[in-house]
Amino acid sequence: MAWLFVGPALLGIGLVVVFPLVYSLWLSFTDVNLLRSTGPAVELWGMRIPLFRWIGARNYTQVLTDPLYWDSLWRTLYFVGAFVIEATLVGFGVALVLNERFPGRPLMRSLLLVPWSLSRIVVGLLWIGILDFEFGALNGLLLRAGLVDGAIAFFKEGWTALNVLVSVYMWNQAPFATLLFLAGMQSISEDLYAAAEVDGAGYWRRLWYVTVPALRPIVFLVLVLATVNGFLMLDLIYVLTMGGPAYDTTTVSWHGFKTSFTFFKFGPGTAILYTLTALCLLLTVVYHKLVLARFEAEG
């Protein structure tokens, strides 16, 4: 009877999660190009369908010797590092504000979730309307206020465009970090703050010695989720920059996407993206050692 009830859920997980993972992993060890006219294939209804040919780790060796991959990797590491720091600090700061009692706090907590609830395609289109060189609202306000002499091209120079992507993605994702931090803060016993206050601890000491240590599991969760989201961010690049100018905002996820769905090289494309999986797992272990290891030892 137990398997009868659990079976449909396991079947759904297998179809939606396990099968795509196993299939994509197998794909990264094969060679197939739908645009190539040569090679093994089968005829079906008058169409030539290429066969997948097992080539072992050749896709990974090609990826790791590709200069474009390494350029996109360093760019990705910068993007993820800047995004994680900004999202964590902004999320923590806003959570501290929303944890205090003030008029309109329930409304502010509700409005906080609006940026996070928006589709990232919608977020990209919204920020195009704000930052566009010709008709952007921000350039219009700056020009009317006399703060600039001419419109600013936010996406013309690669370094500026990359940092704009970081800020826009932080605007979209920081509310989720705020929600997690706020939930953690409200679970801290008021007795701890009262005891610290009796001992003469001011606001900043209570924050450092009570709030921050109690939030270590939440900090770990926020770091992991922000890191994974940062590595896999694709839709904002698609809407805002398309990896340009040149390749200056091409991250590993965008490089893998273009390899797979522009050049139809599914083997190298999935191999590129699986390197991100390895990086996410590695950084999760690092975060655990830095943030949670001491906490669990003390617990």
CB 273 within 8 A of CB 249: no
Q: 68-298 architecture in CATH?
A: Orthogonal Bundle (1.10)
Using CA atoms, how far apart are residues 166 and 80, in angstroms rounded to an integer?
Answer: 8
pLDDT by 10-residue block (mean), the chain, 299 residues: 90 91 89 64 58 83 93 94 95 93 88 90 93 89 88 89 94 94 91 88 89 91 93 92 89 92 88 92 89 65
**Tokens coding 95:** 């959570």
* pLDDT reported for residue 55: 85
Give the C-alpha separation, 119 to 125, whole Å. 10
The structural domains of the chain, with segments of one domain joined by +, span 68-298
pLDDT, residue 48, reads 59
What is the predicted pLDDT for the residue at 177?
Answer: 94
pTM above 0.85, yes or no: yes
Identify which of 94, 88, 234, 241 has the alpha carbon closest to the alpha carbon of residue 164. 241
